[in-house]
Structure 1
Amino acid sequence: MFPRSSLLVLLLLSVGFSSAETAPNPRALSAAQIRDANADGYPDSTQLHSSSERDAFLRWFAAIAESQYTAINADWTLQDCSGLLRYAYTVALKPKTRAWWSRFGYFPDRTIAPLELDLKPVLNSAPFRTRGGTFQRSDLENKTFLKDVSVGYLMRYASVPLGKDVKAARRGDLLFFIHPEAQGSPYHSMVYLGGGQVVYHTGYAPEDGGEVRLLSLETLKKHPEDTWHPVPSNPNFLGYFRWKIAAG
């Protein structure tokens, strides 16, 4: 029989070994798995390569974000501005099983083509880049990729700009604003739903009154603070963006 202290050591080693088994080993990945042909910072194996897949992703992403306006999913734990984007992004890529559907109290579009992309073999549960540059094997060991990142990182390293004209945007694209004087992150994000509508989280924790809101661009243009107006003349409006995974 082992002394209690020895059992504790064995337990810790066992937990550490299990965690190591589930995490990707950068040195074991093939050249094909880590190739970054378009030099956008993400391995090609973690991106979508057909227009139909990209279309499906944007539609799934938008529908998931929109659904949170009606009923918050129980498994969306980090509820804030960037959290809505991260949650809808990762859930959109999961297999659409019965368990997947059971998390929703409401879903606005059930006509979307099936889509799933397993990022775990390369990125595990940390799909968002935090610095510039092309993808390197070492990125998987130096925290270049994280699971929970703020809006600024999503804008700079996970999406590409489309300009400030709404005509360039489609359902599932993103809007970003900047307010340097704001407490915390100066960036704010919204999801474009098409048809002149957006959905977003106000950024505050639920216990502080944070919530998901859905409104029209026309209503947003009438906001009493013109720094929130989604118009080309507003320097605080950074424009429309598209996720790199769906940008081609």
Structure 2
Amino acid sequence: MLALSLLLLLQAAPVPQPRDVRPELTAPAPETRDVLLRRQVARVALAQVRKQDDAWHPDQRDCAGLIRFAFRTAYKNVAPERLSTPLWRNDRGQPADFADAETLLQQSFTPLGRDEAARDSVRTGDILAFRQEHDSGPVFHLMLVVRPEDRAHAPARVVYHPGEKGAAVRTGLLQNLTTEAPLEWRPVPNNAGFLGFFRFKEWMP
């Protein structure tokens, strides 16, 4: 679970309205499949902040579930043929419809790094990951990046589900997370709980 102070920090950030999101989705760019997929991931993720889609099963509403739902919906809208086989890999590396946060990181995403250069390179659809140690064992948490293709338009945001049953999806500025969150939730190298930034393997060059 996220610290209450982190929830309050990111909840306080204004939620983009459709007119704010549209430039992210329509900024001039080569109309490649990956560009269109990133735009759709942004659209789906931010829509969950305003109202969670009934198609997103309540039993899968957690941080990893948001990633799975946003990606699957994006592929359904842009490249449905890809869904003839599952998007994800299980802990044995085999195609699977379901993967928890840890397995997503290990099997379906590749690390970009943990430093400022990696943070500057992230694009919409990339994720940042944390691991917190609890008495019951490690807990992984994922946040999705939404960043305008034209960076002068608006700063990068994170979108995430805090994990609690019935909780709302939240969004806030990546820079605020970096500078104002409790240390254990800051995406910075001196936070041992920060695992780094990650990108979907199929989107790697």
- Kept in 2, the 8 Å contact 1:129–1:145? The answer is yes
In the alignment, which residue of structure 1 is the partner of 2:104?
A: 154
Give the number of equivalent residue pairs.
Answer: 163
Instruction: State how far apart, in whole Å, the 2-side matches of 1:88 and 1:131 are.
Output: 21
TM-score by length of 1: 0.60
Backbone CA RMSD of aligned residues: 2.1
| Stretches of structure 1 lacking an aligned partner (at least 5 in a row) | 1-49, 96-114, 134-143
Deviation per CA, 1:65-109: give whole Å up to 9, x if none. Answer: 1111111111101211110000001100113xxxxxxxxxxxxxx
Aligned to 1:52: 32
State the Cα distance separating 1:217 from its structure 2 match: 2.2
Q: 1:199–1:212: 8 Å Cα contact kept in structure 2?
A: yes
Say whether the 8 Å CA contact 2:90–2:98 is kept in structure 1. no
Alignment-derived partner of residue 181 in structure 1 = 134
**Bigger Cα Rg:** 1
Q: What SS does the aligned partner of 2:76 have?
A: coil
Pairing partner for 1:129 from 89, 93, 104: 89
For 1:184 and 1:72, the matched residues in 2 are separated by 29
Q: Considering fraction of residues, name the structure with more strand.
A: 2
Gapped runs of 5+ residues in structure 2?
1-29, 148-154
Aligned to 1:72: 52
Q: Output one character per residue of 1:2-56: Cα deviation in whole Å (capped at 9) or x when no partner.
A: xxxxxxxxxxxxxxxxxxxxxxxxxxxxxxxxxxxxxxxxxxxxxxxx9821122
Residue by residue over 1:140-189, the C-alpha shift from the partner in whole angstroms, topping out at 9 and shown as x without a partner, is xxxx3322221111111111111123112112211111112275761100
Equivalent position SS for 2:134: coil
1:117 lines up with 2:75 in the alignment: no
Deviation at 1:129, TM superposition (A): 0.4
User: Structure 1 residue 200 and structure 2 residue 149: aligned?
Assistant: no
Q: Is the 8 A contact 2:88 2:99 kept in 1?
A: yes
CA contact (8 A) 2:37 2:74 kept: yes
* Structure 2 CA distance for partners of 1:120 and 1:52, relative to 1, 3 Å: closer
Secondary structure of the corresponding residue to residue 192 of structure 2: coil
Write out the 4+ residue segments of structure 1 that deviate beyond 4 Å after TM superposition.
182-185
Tell me, in whole angstroms, the C-alpha distance in 1 between the residues paired with 2:65 and 2:135. 18
* Distance change (3 Å), C-alpha of 1:170 and 1:201: same
- Does the aligned pair in 2 maintain the 1:55–1:246 contact within 8 Å? no
Higher RCO (CA 8 Å, separation ≥ 6 residues): 2
For the 8 Å contact 2:75–2:83, the answer to whether it is kept is no
Q: CA offsets, 1:194-234, max 9 Å, x none?
A: 2231110001111xxx22110112332322x3110111221
